[in-house]
């Protein structure tokens, strides 16, 4: 089956620093990737939709200058949390859609971000 990886799996950083999270589709080309955020004991909230070669589409309430998304190739999308603050601490999950029936999304294992 299709595999999506994320790197790093966890990261701890100081307040004010920027953190980059990578999402890769390992065995298929992903025309679209999605970024979700999940706070403890809550559901996944879609942050943005990333299409290769174009600007990401952000959901209402998500600051595009705070969460920079780059989808430079058909196998890689990156999310950069700029000037991170403790309230940005969360579980960030990406998913990728390839050329499969029903446009099934394949999810990465997630990245746990802790901002001190």
Q: How far apart are CA 65 and CA 81, in angstroms?
A: 9
Of 11-19, 38-46, 70-78, 81-89, the window that binds another protein (rule: CB under 8 A) is 38-46
Q: Which is nearer to another protein, 45 or 68 (CB)?
A: 45
13 touches another protein (CB under 8 A): no
45 touches another protein (CB under 8 A): yes
79 touches another protein (CB under 8 A): no
104 touches another protein (CB under 8 A): yes
46 touches another protein (CB under 8 A): yes
50 touches another protein (CB under 8 A): no
98 touches another protein (CB under 8 A): no
Q: How far apart are CA 53 and CA 41, in angstroms?
A: 34
Q: What is the DSSP letter of 101?
A: G
SS in 3 state form for 30-81?
CCEEEEEEECCCCCEEEEEEEECCCCCEECCCCCCCCEEEEEEECCEEEEEE
11 touches another protein (CB under 8 A): no
Question: Residue 49 burial by CB count (10 A; 0-12/13-18/19+): exposed, middle or buried?
Answer: middle
Binding site for another protein (CB under 8 A): 32, 34, 36, 42-46, 49, 91, 93, 95, 97, 102-110, 112
């Amino acid at each position: 089956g299709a595999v999506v990886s994320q790197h790093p799996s966890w990261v701890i950083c100081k307040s004010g620093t920027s953190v980059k999270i990578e999402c890769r589709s390992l065995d298929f080309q992903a025309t679209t990737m999605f970024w979700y955020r999940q706070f403890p004991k809550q559901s996944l909230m879609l942050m943005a939709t990333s299409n290769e070669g174009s600007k990401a589409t952000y959901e209402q309430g998500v600051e595009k200058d705070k969460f920079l998304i780059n989808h430079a190739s058909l196998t890689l999308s990156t999310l950069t949390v700029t000037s991170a603050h403790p309230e940005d601490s969360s579980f960030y999950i990406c998913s990728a859609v390839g050329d499969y029936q029903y446009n099934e999304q394949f999810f990465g294992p997630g990245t746990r971000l802790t901002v001190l």
